[in-house]
A and B are shown apart, each in its own frame.
Chain A
């Protein structure tokens, strides 16, 4: 149980284009989902918290107009990187909250902006 999927697993896009990443909880309903960013050999950096049906809460320093988050249902959250630039290249990981505050993570999406 507690499986979270992400799609796509890897994406390469050109500078200036937008990319959408999907995060799904496959066998449970997740009221809250989280989006993280991870640079090589570093820990996870929380970008935003999204609750189903409401606006996401962004961490300090994260541009909400650049990283659009939509949590339309209890099993799906999406992250759209708008007008991507090379500095947005990173490993993006989502997670979904379980019953006891634990978080279950997706496999991650590697974004490369050329």
Chain B
């Protein structure tokens, strides 16, 4: 079983839709959770990071962590074509190492 599982998609939705991106993880000791956005041929951009269970909101983005289910989510409201990218969840393993999901390719159609 992989440490972090993420549906690679692709996921295609119409502009304005609410997008839900999800990851599951196997080790209950993981505590720090991050979401990155990566445009084609660019480095990943940190969107949000969370430490505990619950929700964290930043503009149109909401990160949700459910430690009891070992499930993390990223919601994008009022999705825009510029949100089209690959979204990677990442979990901190130990003190430094990030373990990434496979990435979900998202397309927002105008």
Contacts and interface: CB of A to CB of B under 8 A. Distances in A.
A27 B98 CA distance: 22
Interface residues of A, number: 24
B98 A46 contact: yes
Interface string B69-109: 00000000000000000001010100111101111000000
Contacts of A6: 43
B46 interface: yes
B61 interface: no
Given A49-B96, A91-B41, A44 B46 contact: no
Contact of A32 (B36, B96, B103): B96
Contacts, number: 54
B96 A108 contact: no
B34 interface: yes
B16 interface: no
B44 interface: yes
B102 A43 contact: yes
B50 to A, nearest CB: 10
A20 to B, nearest CB: 18
A35 to B, nearest CB: 12
A93 B44 contact: yes
Interface bracket on B: 20 to 34
Contact of B98 (A103, A106, A107, A108): A103
B45 interface: yes
Given A32-B96, A43-B102, A104 B46 contact: yes
Given A105-B36, A110-B41, A43 B92 contact: no
A108 B100 contact: no
A25 to B, nearest CB: 13
B11 to A, nearest CB: 14
Contacts of B92: 101
4 smallest A-B Cβ distances: which pairs? A105-B43, A108-B43, A107-B43, A102-B49
Interface of A: 2, 4, 6, 32, 34, 42-44, 46, 49, 91, 93, 95, 97, 100-108, 110
